[in-house]
Amino acid sequence: MSNLFQPYRLRSLTIPNRAWMAPMCQYSAAADGPLQGVPTDWHLAHLGARAVGGAGLILTEATAVSPEGRISPLDVGLWNEEQREAFRRITRFLESQGAVPAVQIAHAGRKASTAAPWHGGRQLRPDEGGWTTVAPSPLPFTDDGPVPREMTTRDIERVVADFARTAELALAAGFKVAEVHGAHGYLINEFLSPHSNHRDDEYGGSYENRTRFALEVVDAVRAVWPEELPVFFRISATDWLTENPEDPREGWTGEDTARFAKDLLAHGVDLLDVSTGGNAPGAAIPVGPDYQVPFAAKVREETDLPVAAVGLITGARQAEEILASGRADAVLLGRELLRDPYWVNSAAVELGDEPRRPVQYARAY
């Protein structure tokens, strides 16, 4: 059996393979009314197709812990019972196809309140269906963007409680993995990075202070999540600022990530989902195949925390080599699964493994 199709065990959970679906926003929920933030038939079909296609674990798109935590008005959320019941339908189907249902819980911070990409992706004013965003510091994401409201300590406490409440709802909805979204310039990433966190209280300044909010969220989620089920954390391993000698801006680094991984492990996180970027517009990012994998490999080499690699992983043998070389414990596929929902089953055939095909399709083979 190839490395890619070996089962993977975390706590009491066994994931059938190591080819997983990354979170990808669909901008397909209702923006307001009683169905605000509720996943729709689109989400069932979209996520369900990748389960049929063989993915071992399927992560939802960034699922907001509150209305103001959504990236856009069209994002899904999980802060009420209606959303919980809609997700329950999805998790049941994913499990029926042999996939592990996982939820990414998130708050978008200063990058919230945006239009869908096909509507321009710009930040929306309150009179356009948007809202005032919040952040660790009153710094806009772009020079000409809206200035977010600086969060008070009471705001921080409320958001931590929101993460815990969403985790409770996610468990009731049938999810087996909870992933805390700390990447891509959203709220937790904003606190971690000195590029976006200019606070002078206990949540800013030193490394210990800037990581405090993230660890409080992890502790709150871990406290309500069953001991036998895993918690993931998604991180942007670098802002691509100090990694680039030509960019004088201070930011979060690969060294910070390796250090933080040890803290996350001590607080009960079971796997680090390693991405990069998203917090600093204009950062020079050397995009290419495997360009983020070295950051995952660094964490795996320097800590005991398992890692998943992501980013321009498009080929079966490429994914297999990442695992076989010991650079990651699993791979997450994003755009490649948008192009081909059955990529994982095709990869199994290419690598000489047994694809997980539904009995309804047997006559095709």
Residues with a catalytic annotation lie at: 186
70 token code pair: 């959504």
Counting runs of H as helices and runs of E as strands, what totals does the chain give? 11, 12
Give the residues across from 103 on adjacent strands.
Answer: 178
Q: Residue 280: is it exposed, middle or buried by C-beta count within 10 angstroms (0-12/13-18/19+)? A: buried
206 token code pair: 């030193």
CA nearest 65: which of 196, 168, 212? 168
Q: Which helix (H) or strand (E) holds 156?
A: helix 153-172
Go through 74-113 and write b for each residue having 16 or more CB atoms within 10 A of its CB, e for each that does not. Answer: bbbbbbeeebbebbeebbebbeebebbbbbbbbbbbbbbb
Give the residues across from 355 on adjacent strands.
Answer: none
Give the residues across from 134 on adjacent strands.
Answer: 149
Q: What angle do CA 166, 170, 174 make, to 5 degrees?
A: 170
| Helix ranges, 242-351 (H) | 254-266, 293-302, 316-324, 335-339, 343-350
Parallel, antiparallel or unpaired: strands 307-310 and 149-150: unpaired
